[in-house]
Every structure is written in structure tokens, then in C-alpha cells.
Amino acid sequence: MTDTKTAVDNATEAAQAAARKAYTASADYLKDTQDKALRSARGLVREQPLTAIGVAVAAGFLLHWALRQR
């Protein structure tokens, strides 16, 4: 019985360690992706400010229209 409990405990610890490692890797990947998207968006706004303003106005209008329809 002790050998089984030890095996289960070892498997549990290994699974928890793998889950922590996967979580950390996922968090790092998401942070990197967020940083890249933010840099890209800033670059586009700097290159084409009027287009960015137009897109923001259109998005605001559509959001207002969609929420008002309730």
C-alpha cells in the first residue's frame, strides 16, 4: 500500500510541476504576443493617424448602435 501511495504522490508532484511549467510558458507566450500586437498597433497609428481615427470612430459608432438596440 505504501508503494502505491508513494507512486501516486510522485505522479501527482510530476503532474503539478508539468502544469506549472506549461502555465509559465503560456503566460510568457501571451505576454510576448501582447507586446508584439501593441507595438504593431502603435506603429500603424503613427504611420496612418487619420485612418486610425476613422477606424476608432467607426468602431465607437457600431458599438453605440449595437448596445442601443437592446
Decide if 64 contacts 56 (C-beta within 8 A).
no
Q: How many CB atoms lie within 10 A of CB 44?
A: 13
Q: What is the pTM of this model?
A: 0.57
> What does the alpha-carbon distance between residue 13 and residue 4 come to, in Å, rounded to a whole number?
14
Residue 5: per-residue pLDDT: 85
Residue 1: per-residue pLDDT: 66
> What does the alpha-carbon distance between residue 30 and residue 24 come to, in Å, rounded to a whole number?
10
Residue 3: per-residue pLDDT: 85
Mean pLDDT on 17-37 = 94
Mean pLDDT on 26-39 = 95
Residues with Cβ within 8 Å of residue 44, at least 6 apart in sequence: 52
